[in-house]
Amino acid sequence: MKKFLIVAIIALLGTVYANGVGGTYHCEGKNPNGGRYEGTVVISGDASSGYTFIWTIGSDSYQGTGTLSGDTLTVDWGAPEPVVYKVNADGSELKGRWGPGGKGKEKLTRQ
């Protein structure tokens, strides 16, 4: 009975994350060199097919694809290191690290 309950809770949490990530987010970040930036990020897709990210930072645009595992969303955006986000339970906020040694930081807040 305990094993069933644990499996059910894990499945439910996975569903919450999977269904709650898509949307438009305000982005605030810090580059590995310490420079700050902000902009918007549009996330589309789902956990089964993968997520598409489009960042707009000033006049620059970046794209990536991500996969969700539990509360961790890993996004390949063409750089040697991916962005690795922790997603809160309702998907309204993602906190990520990127760049060499994870020195870059990024926070996405749903708009």
SS3 63: strand
The owner of tokens 């089964």 is 48
Burial 11-20 (b: 16+ CB within 10 A, else e): eeeeebbbee
Pairwise CA distance, residues 40 & 29, whole Å? 11
Given this model, what pLDDT does residue 60 score?
A: 97
Backbone angles phi, psi at 105, to 5 degrees: -125, 145
Given this model, what pLDDT does residue 107 score?
A: 98
* 85 in Cβ contact with 108 (< 8 Å): yes
The total of structural domains in the chain comes to 1
Give the CATH number for residue 56: 2.40.128.120
Range of the domain at 94: 2-110
Q: How confident is the model at residue 16 (pLDDT cuts 50, 70, 90)?
A: very low
Per-residue pLDDT at 97 exceeds 70: yes
Given this model, what pLDDT does residue 2 score?
A: 58
